[in-house]
Amino acid sequence: MSRRAPAPSQADLDALSREFALLCDEQGVLIWHDERAPRLVNATLGVSLHSLAVPGTEPKIEFMLQALRRGDEARFEISLRDGGRPVTVAMRGSRTERGLLFVGSLVAQEFGDALSQLESTMTELSEMHRQSEKQRFELARLHGELGDSSRALLTMHGELDDKLDSLRRADEIRTRLVANVSHEFRTPLNSILGLSRLLLDRVDGELSVEQERQLRFIRQSAESLAEMVNDLLDLSKAEAGKHRLNPRTFRIEDLLGALRGMMQPLLTNQETRFVVEEPPTPVSLDTDESKVAQVLRNLVTNALKFTENGEVRVTAMEEGDMVVFRVIDTGIGIAPENLEHIFDEFSQIDSEVQRRVKGTGLGLALSRRFAQILGGTLTAESTLGKGSTFTLRIPRVHEEVAAMETIASASQQIDPSRAPVLVVEDDRQTMFLYERYLTGSGFQVIPARTIEDARRCIDRVRPAAIVLDVMLDGESTWTFLAQLKDAPATRDIPVMVVTVVDRLQKARALGADEFWLKPVDRERLVRKLGELARRGGSVPKILIIDDDSVARYLIRRLLSETPYHVIEAANGAEGVRLARLEQPSLIMLDFFLGDATAFDVLDDLKVDPRTRGIPVIIQTSKELADVERERLAVDTSAILSKQNLSRELAIARIREALLNAGVKVEAGHGHT
C-alpha cells in the first residue's frame, strides 16, 4: 500500500504560488485578502482595486466590477502594479454574499515576460532591417553614380590614350633625331678635326703659313659646330629629363680656380678685366660640379662677349643653405622687354654686338635647365647700356645628396626586425630606388658608395644579402666579389650582381679595356701601343673596326711612322673574322658600327678563346643617344639592369636569393 507523504505547509505552498485571492465590496474596496496577495500585488485592506491598478487602466477595473455587480461571472485580464512594474493578472471573480470574490493569476504575466524576450529580439531585428535597407538604398544610389563615373572615365581614358600615343611618337622622333644628330653630325665633324690635326702635325709634309692659318680656321669652325651639336644634344637630353646628376663634394675655390683657367684663352680683349672673387670663408659643395662649371662657363662667356670694355666679375657666397654665384658685367646690358626672353631657346637679341658674336642661342636655355637639375634657379637683371647680373642660386648640398645621407644615417641603426641588405651603388638615383623598393618589403638598406665603404660595412654587420653594382670600381669590385666568395664567413651571403645599361660600362663588363673619345689623339695611341708592345712579342698588329672610312684612314695615318701594322675592317663581322685570323695586339672598335653595335663584336670576341685576350679599345663620340638601350635589353637580360629595375623584380630576386640561402625576411638575421 503506497503511503502519501504528509501535506506540505501552507506557507511553502504560498511561497511558490503565482495566484492570490481577494474579497472586495461592491465598490471594489478590499475587505479581505489571502496571504499571497500582498506579496504579489501589494494588496492591503481598505484600498480600492482601482488604486492597485496601473494608472490609465482603471476603466477596465470598473468594467469588471460592473460585470460582477450585474451578476455575470468575470474573467478579466487587468494590469496591476507589482512594485515598480505593471503586471498582467488574469482575474476570475464572482459575486458572493460576502462580497466580490476574486482569484488572480500571474501566469499571464509570466507568459508576457517570455514574450518580452522575443520582443527585444524583434526590436533588434527591426533595427538591423532598417540598417540593411538604408544600405541597400545607398548602394543603389552609388551604383547609379558609378555608372556615370565609369562612362566619364572611359571617355577620359580614350583621350589619355591618344595623348599618350602622340607623346610617345613625339618622344621617339626626338630620340631618333638626337641619335641621328649625334652620329650624322659628329662623324664628319670628327673627320674634319682629325684630318686637320693630321695636317697641322705635318705628318704628310710641310705647310705654308697661309695653309696653316686656313687649317686653323677650319678647326675653329669645326670646333664651333661640335660645340653647337653638343649644346643641342645636352639641351635635348635635359628636356627629356635624361641628364643624370653626378654629385660629388668639391670646394668652391677649386671650381673658381678651374674657371679662371678655362676662361684665360677667351680674355683676348685687353679692355675688359676678368675678376673672380672667392667667398670670404672656404665653402664646399656637394652637388654636380660639372654642371655648375658648365653654367658658369656659359655665363662668363656671354658676359665677356657682350662687354667691350669694363669688367666681368664672378662672385660666390654662401647664403644659409644656398650658394649664390653671380656673374656681373658692365657690358651692353639687356632691354627690359628682352629680359624675359633671353632664357628661351634660340632667342638672339638683335643688336650690333650680338651680330658680331657667335653663339647658338642655346647656352642660357641649357644653363637654366641645368640650374633646375641642380635644384636651384638662374635669374638675370640688367640695365641697358650699363650691364647685367646673372645669378645662379643652388643648394649647397643637393637634396639628393641630403636624402642619401638620410638613408646612410638610417642605416647606422640596425633594425632587428628587418633583414639588412648591403647595397653597393654609387648612383644616387639608383640608391633611392633600392631604398624605396626594398624598405617597404621589410628589408633595411645599408648603402655603400664605394668598395671601401662596403668592406667597412661587412665588418660591422653581416648582411642578409648584397646588391653589387659591378661597374662601381672596375677591378676592385670584382676583387671584392671574389674575396666575399672566398671567405667562409661571407661565402654564403647571396650577392646580386647588377650593372647599368650604360653601354660604355656594359662594354667594360664584357671585357673592353678602355674607352677613348674620337678623334683619337696620336700621342696617346702611340703610348698605348708602346705599353702593349712591351707585353707582346711578334710584329704588333692593330685591328681597326670602324664603318667610317675616314676614321680608319686617320688611325692609319697616325701610325704611319710607327712599326705597327694596321688592319682595317669596315664592319663587325669582318672585324671578328680578321681578329681571329690575324690575332692583333690591339683592337680599336668603334662603338657605333652602323647596323651592329660594339657589343655584338665584343660578344664574339670574348666568346672565342683565340680573341678573348686581345685588348679592345672602344672609340666613341662623346654622347650617344639612348637608341642602343633597347638593343642592349637583349644583352642584359641575364643581369638585373638598373634601368629596368622594377620593384617587383628587385624584390622577387632578392627574396629568391635570400630564401635560397635559407634566410627569412622576418627574422633578425644579419647580426654579427
Partner 1 sequence: MQLYVERFLTAQLKGARRDALAVIEDALASGMSVPEVHCSIIRAAQYEVGALWQKNAISIAEEHVATAVASLALSWLYPKLPRVPDNGKRVLMACVEGEMHELGARLASDFLEMAGFEVRYVGANVPTDSLVSLVASERPDLLALSVTMPFHERSLRDAIQAVRSAVPDVPIVVGGHAFRDTPQVAASLGLEHVGVDPDALVTAAKRAVGMST
Binding site for partner 1 (CB under 8 A): 54-57, 59-60, 63-64, 75-77, 81, 84-86, 88, 90, 108, 111-112, 115-116, 119-120, 122-124, 126-127, 129-130, 133, 136-137
Provide the residue type at 554 as one letter. L
Chain centroid, CA 450 distance in Å: 22
Least Å distance, CB 127 to partner 1, is 5
Least Å distance, CB 62 to partner 1, is 11
- Nearer to partner 1 by Cβ, of 114 and 240: the residue is 114
Least Å distance, CB 112 to partner 1, is 5
Name the packing angle between helices 627-635 and 107-180 (round to 10°).
110
- Nearer to partner 1 by Cβ, of 136 and 157: the residue is 136
- Nearer to partner 1 by Cβ, of 86 and 615: the residue is 86
Least Å distance, CB 44 to partner 1, is 19
Peptide bond into 447 cis (omega under 30): no
Least Å distance, CB 101 to partner 1, is 18
Helix (H, G, I), strand (E, B) or coil at 657: helix
Residue 542's DSSP bridge partners are: 566, 586
Strands of 302-410, DSSP E:
310-319, 322-329, 377-383, 387-395
d(CA 221, CA 303): 22
Contacts of 592 (CB under 8 A, 6+ apart): 183, 547, 598, 620, 621, 624
Least Å distance, CB 55 to partner 1, is 5
d(CA 97, CA 474): 126
Least Å distance, CB 52 to partner 1, is 12
Q: What is the DSSP letter of 241?
A: T
Residue 495: CB atoms within 10 A of its CB come to: 18
Q: Residue 339, class by beta-carbon neighbours within 10 Å (0-12 exposed, 13-18 middle, 19+ buried)?
A: middle
Give the three cell numbers for residue 75. Answer: 474573467
Least Å distance, CB 41 to partner 1, is 14
Asked if 470 and 481 count as a contact pair (C-beta separation under 8 A), the reply is yes
Give the three cell numbers for residue 171. Answer: 618622344
Helix (H, G, I), strand (E, B) or coil at 636: coil
Asked if 605 and 611 count as a contact pair (C-beta separation under 8 A), the reply is yes
- Nearer to partner 1 by Cβ, of 115 and 170: the residue is 115
Least Å distance, CB 109 to partner 1, is 8
Least Å distance, CB 111 to partner 1, is 6
With CA atoms as reference, report the closest residue to 583 among 550, 554, 555, 611. Answer: 611
Least Å distance, CB 71 to partner 1, is 17
Listing DSSP states for 150-211 in one string gives HHHHHHHHHHHHHHHHHHHHHHHHHHHHHHHIIIIIHHHHHHHHHHHHHHHTTTTS---HHH
Least Å distance, CB 122 to partner 1, is 6
- Nearer to partner 1 by Cβ, of 112 and 511: the residue is 112
- Nearer to partner 1 by Cβ, of 53 and 558: the residue is 53
Name the packing angle between helices 598-607 and 627-635 (round to 10°).
20
- Nearer to partner 1 by Cβ, of 108 and 402: the residue is 108
- Nearer to partner 1 by Cβ, of 123 and 149: the residue is 123
- Nearer to partner 1 by Cβ, of 129 and 664: the residue is 129
Residue 165: CB atoms within 10 A of its CB come to: 10
Least Å distance, CB 82 to partner 1, is 12
- Nearer to partner 1 by Cβ, of 90 and 179: the residue is 90
Least Å distance, CB 65 to partner 1, is 12
With CA atoms as reference, report the closest residue to 21 among 84, 98, 86. Answer: 98
Q: Following CA atoms 131, 136, 141, 145 in sequence, which dihedral angle do they give, to the nearest 10 degrees?
A: 120
Least Å distance, CB 168 to partner 1, is 46
Radius of gyration (C-alpha) of the chain in whole angstroms: 48
- Nearer to partner 1 by Cβ, of 129 and 610: the residue is 129
Q: Residue 271, class by beta-carbon neighbours within 10 Å (0-12 exposed, 13-18 middle, 19+ buried)?
A: exposed
Give the three cell numbers for residue 637. Answer: 637580360
- Nearer to partner 1 by Cβ, of 57 and 348: the residue is 57
- Own/partner pairs for 451-459, CB < 8 Å, 24+ apart? 451/424, 451/476, 451/477, 451/480, 453/424, 454/422, 454/424, 454/480, 455/480, 457/422, 458/422, 458/484, 458/490
- Nearer to partner 1 by Cβ, of 79 and 298: the residue is 79
Least Å distance, CB 108 to partner 1, is 5
- Nearer to partner 1 by Cβ, of 120 and 409: the residue is 120
Helix (H) or strand (E) holding 504: helix 503-509
- Nearer to partner 1 by Cβ, of 9 and 120: the residue is 120
- Nearer to partner 1 by Cβ, of 120 and 672: the residue is 120
Asked if 606 and 577 count as a contact pair (C-beta separation under 8 A), the reply is no
With CA atoms as reference, report the closest residue to 550 among 34, 27, 197. Answer: 197
